[in-house]
Amino acid sequence: MAPAVTVRRAEVGDVPQMARVHVTCWQQTYRGLVPDSVLDDPGLLETRERFWTGALTDERWSRNRAAVAELGGTVVGIAMAGPAQETDATWDSELHLIYVDAAHHGSGAGPALLDAVLAPQESAAWWVADHNPRAHAFMRKHGFAPDGRSRTEDGVRAVRWVRRTSSVAG
């Protein structure tokens, strides 16, 4: 039997592993959508380390919830959510990100991370790359649906997905 993935609140000591997962998942998810020069930038890991240090220590982000999924002491997934930030928000929270290393897809890390940063009945929104069918299926399974809004940043079109009710699939 494979060891179980555990999920817990992220801590500052997790920053190097969180940054590594963040970069690895970007490379796995966005290769072909984002220029290789961005994904393979030698400074990308350090940039993500600064991001996570700020996310976990800066008072401005104190209302965010960040979690890690671990397997044998190694971080294999990350997630962060916080209060809704959009002016047209009709939901409580925003899922800023959720990533699980592809080697651990299907391990239960994704649903556990989602539950760690958003309560099952909590209304929320999440911007997802239009060309990310795996994320779309995950969100649909967890009660999210596209609301018709889209935006393009750095050449990547994203669609906003919203969960409005507590009718979350199990």
How far is the C-alpha of 79 from the C-alpha of 98, rounded, in Å? 4
pTM for this predicted structure:
0.92
H and E: helices and strands count for the chain = 5, 7
pLDDT tens-place string over residues 55-105: 999 999 999 999 999 999 999 999 999 999 999 899 999 999 999 999 999
pLDDT digits (tens, 9 = 90+) for 7-58: 999 999 999 999 999 999 999 999 998 899 999 999 999 999 999 999 999 9
**Amino acid residing at 124:** A
As assigned by CATH, the class of the 6-163 domain is alpha beta
Spatial strand order in the sheet of 145-153: 6-9, 65-71, 74-83, 93-100, 124-129, 156-163, 145-153
Q: What are the extents of the domains in the chain?
A: 6-163
**Which of 110, 114, 90 lies closest to 101, judged by CA?**
110
Q: Are 76 and 100 in contact (CB under 8 A)?
A: yes
Q: Are 103 and 46 in contact (CB under 8 A)?
A: no
Q: Which residue has the tokens 């080697």?
A: 103
Q: What is the mean pLDDT of the chain?
A: 93
Q: How wide is the angle at C-alpha 9 spanned by C-alphas 106 and 54, nearest 5°? A: 110
- Round to whole Å and give the CA distance between 14 and 158: 28
With a pLDDT cut of 70, the percent of the chain lying above it is 95
With cut-offs at 50, 70 and 90, classify the pLDDT of residue 168: very low
Cβ contact 166:144 at 8 Å: no
